[in-house]
Structure 1
Amino acid sequence: MSAEHMRRHRSLSGLIRHKAAVVSHMRSQGTVLLPADGPHASRLQQEVQRHNPGRILSFGLMEGADARVIHVTGVENGQRVKARILGETTDYVVPMLEVHAPAMSAGVLLAAKVLGYSLKDCSELYSSARNYQTSGKLYRIRKHSMTFHLYDQTHRGYFEGFLSTCQLAAQLPPDMTRRKIAVLTELYNLDDNVGHRYDLNRAARLLKKAGLDRIYTTHRFAEHAGILPDGVTWVAIEKLDQLTATLRHTLQDGDFLLLHGVWKANLSTITEQLLQWSEGYECLY
C-alpha cells in the first residue's frame, strides 16, 4: 500500500478507503487476503473489516501472519524461501530477485491453499512463475561475445517501484554484475500526484546504497536530481534513440542495466530496441 494516483484519492486515508471498498459486495463467508507488512497494514485491515465481516487472512514477513516467510536465501536468478502457510511449512524457489517477492509468494500460496489446492504441488510449481510486465521483467541478452542483464521496470513507474529497483540493485550477487548502470526518469508521475510529499530523503539513501556505477536520466528526472549520490557518473539524454545508441556503445560483458521510469516516458522502447539489436536473449522472468 503506497501513495499513488493521489490526484484521485486526495490523501492516503482516501486511498485506503477506496482500496478497502472493493470487498463491499463480497459474501459474508468470503475470505480476504491482506498484506501483514508495511506501515498501513493495520489501517487497511480495519477499513476492510468495516466493509465486510468475513474472514481476513494475512501474508508477509511479520510475526503472526497466517502465511509467513520464515527464511530467505539467494539462488541463481531468484530466492529460496521457507514459509509457513496456515500451519503447514513449505520450501520453494521464487524465480525473482525483488526484495518483496518472497512476501508476495506467501500470499499466492495462501490463496492456493484457501482454494483447496495442494500446497506441496503449488510450491513445486512456483519456480516457473513469471512476473507481470508491470512488476518488472529480467532479461539476459547476448551480443557478439558480450552477455549482460537488463531489468525492465518501465510500465508503471511509481515511487515504491523506484525504491524496490534500488533495493534490487543493492543486493545483486557479484557474479551477475561487472557494472551496475541505470536509466531513470522522474521517480513517480508528477502530474498524477501533485502536492503529495514523498520521502525523497529515503529515495536518496537507497539510491546511494544501490552502488550504481553510471546513471543516465531522461524525461523529467531533473525535478528529482537532488537525490543523486556524490561521485556517480551522471549523463542526461533527452532523446530515447540517442539514449539507446549510447547504451549500445557503453554496455560491456557482465553489466547489469536497470531501467525505471514512468509510463509516459516510454522507456520500454529502449528495452524493445536492445532486444531487437541483440543476437539472442532469454526472459528470466
Structure 2
Amino acid sequence: MAEPLWTADEILAATGGTPQGAGFSATGVSIDTRTIEPGDLFVALAGVRDGHEFVDQALAKGAAGVLVSQATNGAGVVVEDTLKALEKLGEAARVRAPKARRGAVTGSVGKTSVTQAIRAGLTLAGPAHSSVKSYNNHIGVPLTLARMPRATQRAVFEIGMNHAGEIVPLSQMVRPHAAVITTVGPVHVENFPDGETGVARAKAEIFAGLEPGGLAVLNADNRWFDLLKAEAEKIGARVVTFGTTEGCDARLIDFQPAAGHALVQARLHGKGLDFPILQTGFHWGLNSMAVLLMLEALGVDLSDSLAALGSFEPLEGRGAETEVKIAGGAFTLIDESYNANPISMAAAFKTLGARKTSGRRIVALTDMLELGAEGPAFHAGLAAPLEQAGIDLVFCAGPQMKSLFDALPPTRRGAYAEDAATLAPLVARAAEPGDLVMVKGSNGSKAGVVAAALKALGRGPGEGG
C-alpha cells in the first residue's frame, strides 16, 4: 500500500483544525468531485458553488476524509477557512521535504509548456513533483504544494497572475531555489494602469520568495530584461541568462523546424550543443534554453535534460499536430487554440511560414483577450507578421479580430465571422489536401471550437475521439 500523503493528525497539526469523526489517511488532495480519486482528502472550497454541497458526493466516490469549515458527514478536519487551511497544508508539505530542490516558472507566454518540460527532466533525475495543467493561481499553487509527497527530491511550480501583488504570496509559499521568467509582453495589460511596465514588475514578484542565494533565470532578448535583472539583484539573486546574443549562459544559435520536430543549435556556458525536440514553434528555441538552465539549477544532469527535451510532446492546444484525412488526401492541423497574445501570435506565424508544404499556409484566429483599450490596434498589428511569414489565407472570428480582417489585403482574406462556432465550418470547407492549417486564439474566445471542428473532419461516421 502506498505511503499516505497526509494522516488526519498531520492535517490537524498543519491547520490547527479540530477532528471530525474517525481518524484517516489520505493518498491525495482534491478540490473537485469530478476528478476525485478514492483515498483523496476532499477540500471544500468556496467558489461559484460552495464545496460543502459536494461533501457527500466526495465521500460516495471514496474520499478518505474532508477538510471543511462546518460540520458535515464523514471523517475530517474542521477549520475556520478552508483556503487558508489548504495554504497551511502546502507550506507544511514544503517544510517536511527540506531536501527538495524547488523551481518556479512565470512569464507572459509559455509558462505551462516550460513547466511541464522541466517536470519531464526532473522525473528522469529522481522522485519529482509539479503543477498539473495550468494550476498557477491562489488555489492551484497551494494545492500543488499540498500534493507534494514527502520523498520528493525536485519540484517545479507554475505561478501566474492577472493583477499586481498576486505572485508575491505564491512565491513566498513555494520558496523556490530557482525561478524563471520566460518573457514579458502585453498580456493582462488592461489590469495595469502603467501597461506593460506594470506587467514586468508583477512578473518580477516571482523573486519575492526566492531562497537565499537563489537563481533568477532571465530572457536577455526581452525588452524588460534590465528591469527584471535589477529586481532580481535587489533581493540578492544570482542571475543567469538565455537568449540569442553573445554572452548568454544558454545561447540559441539556430532553430530549424520540420514536420513534427525541430533541430536546435545552442551553446551552454560556451559549449556547443545540437539536439532535436518534438516542438516546431520558433518560441521553443528560447524555451528550451530556459528549460536547460532551470534543470541545471535543480541538479539535473545535462544528459537527462536533453533526453527530456527530446521526448517532450506538445501539450493539447499548444502546438500539437494532427493529420486530418479528407477527400483526396490530408491536411496538417496545428492546434494552438489554448492561448494567444501578440507575442505568441507573431511566433506562431513565423513558425508556420518556415514550414515546407505542398499546399497553402492557412490560419484561423479568434480574439486575443485582456488587451484593454489598445486591443483593436494589437489585432490590426498582426497583419505585418502575417505578411512577413507569407501566410496564404487568414480566417478571423470575434469583434477584436475584425480589426485584423479589415487590415488584410483582399488576397489574404479567407472569411470573417462574429464567433468561433460560425467560423469553424468556413475553415473546414476551405481546407484542402497538403495545406498547413493553424488555429490560434485565446481560450475564452473559443478557438478550441474551430480546432475540434477541423479534427472531426478526419473521423468517419460512427467514429469516436
State if a TM-score over 0.5 links the two structures: yes
Which residue of structure 2 aligns with residue 110 of structure 1? 293
Structure 2 residue 264 is matched with structure 1 residue 84: no
Change in 2 beyond 3 A, CA 1:196/1:233: closer
- Output the CA distance in 2 between the equivalents of 1:74 and 1:4: 26
- Output the CA distance in 2 between the equivalents of 1:73 and 1:223: 32
Tell me which of 194, 197, 205 is aligned to 1:21: 205
Aligned residues of 1:183 and 1:258 also touching (Cα < 8 A): yes
Q: Deviations over 1:74-118 (max 9, x none)?
A: 444222112222344322112222122111101111212222222
Aligned residues of 2:366 and 2:420 also touching (Cα < 8 A): no
Give the Å deviation of 1:211. Answer: 2.1
Change in 2 beyond 3 A, CA 1:43/1:226: farther
Q: Deviations over 1:183-230 (max 9, x none)?
A: 1223x22xx222347566753221112323222221112133343135
Aligned residues of 2:257 and 2:282 also touching (Cα < 8 A): no
- Output the CA distance in 1 between the equivalents of 2:424 and 2:331: 15
Aligned residues of 2:318 and 2:336 also touching (Cα < 8 A): yes
Bigger shift: 203-212 or 192-201? Answer: 192-201
Name the amino acid aligned to 1:207: L
Give the Å deviation of 1:250. Answer: 2.4
Aligned residues of 1:97 and 1:168 also touching (Cα < 8 A): yes
Pairs within 5 Å for 1:148-159: 148-159=331-342
Which residue of structure 1 aligns with residue 228 of structure 2? 44
Name the amino acid aligned to 2:417: I
Tell me which of 287, 305, 320 is aligned to 1:137: 320
Which residue of structure 1 aligns with residue 372 of structure 2? 194
Q: Secondary structure at the match of 2:305?
A: helix
Bigger shift: 236-245 or 256-265? Answer: 236-245
Structure 2 residue 244 is matched with structure 1 residue 61: yes
Change in 2 beyond 3 A, CA 1:8/1:202: closer
Name the amino acid aligned to 2:398: H
Which residue of structure 2 aligns with residue 203 of structure 1? 382
Which residue of structure 2 aligns with residue 228 of structure 1? 408
- Output the CA distance in 2 between the equivalents of 1:96 and 1:184: 21
- Output the CA distance in 2 between the equivalents of 1:267 and 1:199: 18
Bigger shift: 119-128 or 17-26? Answer: 119-128
Give the Å deviation of 1:140. Answer: 2.2
Aligned residues of 1:217 and 1:237 also touching (Cα < 8 A): yes
Percent of aligned positions with the same letter in both sequences? 21
Give the Å deviation of 1:268. Answer: 0.2
Number of matched pairs: 274
- Output the CA distance in 2 between the equivalents of 1:25 and 1:59: 22
- Output the CA distance in 1 between the equivalents of 2:455 and 2:263: 29
Aligned residues of 1:59 and 1:103 also touching (Cα < 8 A): yes
- Output the CA distance in 1 between the equivalents of 2:428 and 2:258: 29
Q: Secondary structure at the match of 1:92?
A: strand
Tell me which of 94, 97, 107 is aligned to 2:280: 97
Pairs within 5 Å for 1:233-252: 233-238=413-418, 240-252=420-432
- Output the CA distance in 2 between the equivalents of 1:138 and 1:53: 43
Give the Å deviation of 1:242. Answer: 4.3
Higher relative contact order (CA 8 A, sep 6+): 1
**TM superposition score normalised by structure 1:** 0.86
Aligned residues of 1:16 and 1:47 also touching (Cα < 8 A): no
- Output the CA distance in 2 between the equivalents of 1:67 and 1:80: 16
Change in 2 beyond 3 A, CA 1:194/1:86: same
- Output the CA distance in 1 between the equivalents of 2:416 and 2:381: 22
Change in 2 beyond 3 A, CA 1:244/1:74: closer
- Output the CA distance in 2 between the equivalents of 1:8 and 1:183: 27
Which residue of structure 2 aligns with residue 276 of structure 1? 456
Bigger shift: 20-29 or 87-96? Answer: 87-96
Larger Rg: 2
Name the amino acid aligned to 2:371: N
Which residue of structure 2 aligns with residue 264 of structure 1? 444
User: What is the RMSD computed on CA atoms of the aligned residues?
Assistant: 2.4
Change in 2 beyond 3 A, CA 1:254/1:162: same
Give the Å deviation of 1:277. Answer: 3.3
Which residue of structure 1 aligns with residue 363 of structure 2? 182
Give the Å deviation of 1:239. Answer: 5.2
Bigger shift: 224-233 or 17-26? Answer: 224-233
Aligned residues of 1:151 and 1:257 also touching (Cα < 8 A): yes
Bigger shift: 141-150 or 266-275? Answer: 141-150
**TM superposition score normalised by structure 2:** 0.54
- Output the CA distance in 2 between the equivalents of 1:121 and 1:112: 9
Which residue of structure 1 aligns with residue 394 of structure 2? 215
